[in-house]
């Protein structure tokens, strides 16, 4: 079986590492799976991309398109063309896609136009906000996919409501596989908590990169003002996304970071160490919300809605938008729930996905 994996953004590198590791394990047992990796270049900063391939032992991309830093439409158009050329050359059995980025949608369009089967991992997630580019990407990708690998029953239900009921697999969440695997590695390799002089359980970890927050001066200013208030009570750590950094400078808001501890984008193992040891995580990232839940750390999400509604229903996640007073109040009223359950699978999602792909490609069973 030959698959082409399309990735372009930081979380996708982590998810792809899980499947690549499972492929190597299966091949060592006699399976014959060839994986071709296309990196679109959507995340093009070295700390957001290249370091991940080294740290997570992901095979280096077979193709690098170098498409980053462009508008949504421009980038998506260039990616479709670049991916199509590679798919014609490679003629895979499946194109495997992750999540909801422009790279995801581009891979889905290119493959479906060529009649190549599409497997979408993290299918069925919905925020029900079509103003989010990610929501449009995930909806369109699901509707052209041949197999939808959904992380939860709720995701399956979302697909069913849209008429997608065939070849929907509730396989658990592949990011859960990654979090469990790299958590142990992080304990061994990461020294960031000690190196940054942090006390375990006594700092707040913040990430902010969503377009709806960074592209609005009013919203970004409100978020940064809330962090400035929180620094009076606790240490606030902010690994700064390149887009967010650019907008902070553009809007003249650098002064609001005077008491915030700024870090460059951190490698995966360091990020896990920060997440696991934080007292609270404040984020607008879908992936970080989920990781907070997996590591049993209370989360405050700076969005009006989330595709990971289970984390909110369970009490581990609070939605606050970008409003300063709501962010501050949520922090001061934060309580760690007494109950936690494994919502996202048992860490075997990658194997479940490959088993299904092998069956569907009529490959020799192992």
∠ CA 37-43-48, rounded to 5°: 100
Q: How many CA atoms lie within 13 A of 236 on its CB side?
A: 25
Catalytic site residue from 43, 120, 209, 241: 209
**pLDDT score of 149:** 98
pLDDT at residue 352, as a whole number: 97
Is residue 39 among the annotated active site residues? no
Cβ atoms within 10 Å of 236's Cβ, excluding its own: 24
277-309 in b/e form (b: 16+ CB < 10 A) is bbbbbbbbbbbbbbbbbbbebbbbbbbeebbbb
User: Could you tell me the two tokens for 207?
Assistant: 């990430």
pLDDT at 364: 41
What is the structure's pLDDT at 71? 85
User: How many C-beta atoms lie closer than 10 Å to residue 336's C-beta?
Assistant: 12
The CA angle 155-160-161, to the nearest 5 degrees, is 100
Residue the block writes with tokens 């509730």: 170
| pLDDT confidence of residue 49 | 53
Contact yes or no for 225/206 (Cβ under 8 A) = no
Residue partners of 217: CB distance under 8 A and separation at least 6: 247, 251, 253
Q: How many helices (H) and strands (E) does the chain have?
A: 16, 13
Q: Quote the tokens at residue 159.
A: 């697909």
pLDDT reported for residue 363: 47
Q: What residues in the chain have per-residue pLDDT under 50? A: 48, 363-366
- What does the pLDDT look like over 198-238, one tens digit per residue? 999 999 999 999 989 999 999 999 999 999 999 999 999 99
Calculated CA dihedral for residues 187, 21, 137, 1, nearest 10 degrees: 180
**Bridge partners, residue 206, by sequence:** 282
Q: Are 65 and 31 within 8 A, CB to CB? A: no
The residue among 85, 124, 70 whose CA lies nearest residue 6 is 85
Query: Same topology for domains 2-173+346-360 and 182-332, yes or no?
Result: yes
DSSP classification of residue 214: H
CA distance 18 to 31: 17
pLDDT at 366: 40
- Ordered by start, the domain boundaries in the chain are 2-173+346-360, 182-332
What 8-state DSSP symbol labels residue 241?
Answer: -
Fold held by 182-332: Rossmann fold (3.40.50)
The predicted structure's pLDDT at residue 69: 73
Residue with tokens 């398109």: 65
Q: What is the DSSP string of 121-173?
A: ETTT-----TTSHHHHHHHHHHHH-SEEEESSHHHHHHHHHTT--TTEEE---
DSSP 260-279: SEEEPPPPHHHHHHHHHH-S
pLDDT reported for residue 323? 97
The whole-number pLDDT of residue 42 equals 75
Nearest Cα to Cα of residue 186 among 266, 271, 265, 298: 271
Sign, CA torsion 280/286/287/290: positive
Domain 2-173+346-360 has CATH 3.40.50.300: no
Neighbours of 219 (CB within 10 A): 20
Between CA 162 and CA 310 the distance in angstroms is 20
Whole-number pLDDT of residue 365:
44
Residues 307/293, Cβ–Cβ less than 8 Å: no
């Amino acid at each position: 079986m030959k698959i082409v994996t399309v990735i372009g953004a930081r979380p996708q590198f982590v998810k792809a590492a899980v499947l690549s590791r499972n492929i190597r394990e299966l091949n060592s047992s006699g399976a014959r799976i060839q994986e071709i990796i296309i990196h679109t270049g959507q995340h093009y900063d070295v700390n957001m991309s290249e370091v991940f391939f080294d740290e997570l032992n992901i095979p280096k991309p077979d193709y690098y398109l170098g498409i980053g830093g462009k508008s949504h439409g421009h980038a998506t158009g260039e990616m479709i063309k670049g991916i199509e050329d590679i798919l014609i050359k490679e003629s895979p059995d499946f194109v495997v896609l992750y999540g909801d980025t422009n790279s995801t949608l581009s891979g889905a369009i290119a493959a479906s136009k060529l009649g190549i089967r599409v497997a979408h991992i993290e299918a069925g997630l919905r925020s029900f906000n079509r103003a989010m580019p990610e929501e449009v990407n995930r909806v369109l990708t699901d509707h052209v996919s041949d197999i939808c690998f959904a992380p939860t029953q709720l995701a399956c239900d979302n697909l069913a409501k849209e008429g997608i009921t065939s070849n929907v697999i509730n396989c658990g969440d592949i990011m859960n596989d990654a979090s469990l695997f790299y958590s142990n590695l992080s304990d061994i390799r990461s020294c960031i908590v000690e190196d940054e002089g942090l006390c375990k359980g006594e700092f707040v970890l913040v990430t902010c990169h969503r377009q709806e927050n960074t592209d609005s001066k009013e919203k970004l200013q409100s978020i940064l003002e809330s962090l400035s208030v929180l620094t009076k009570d606790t240490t606030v750590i902010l690994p700064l996304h390149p887009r967010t950094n650019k907008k902070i400078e553009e809007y003249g808001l650098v002064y609001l970071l005077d008491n915030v501890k700024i870090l460059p984008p951190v490698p995966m193992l360091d990020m896990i160490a920060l997440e696991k040891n934080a007292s609270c995580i404040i984020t607008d990232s879908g992936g970080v919300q989920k990781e907070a839940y997996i590591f049993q750390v209370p989360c405050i999400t700076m969005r009006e809605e989330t595709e990971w509604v289970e984390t909110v229903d369970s009490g581990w996640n609070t939605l606050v938008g970008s409003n300063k007073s709501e962010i501050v109040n949520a922090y001061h009223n934060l309580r760690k729930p007494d109950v936690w359950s494994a919502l996202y699978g048992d860490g075997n999602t990658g194997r479940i996905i490959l088993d299904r792909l092998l069956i569907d490609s009529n490959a020799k069973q192992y």
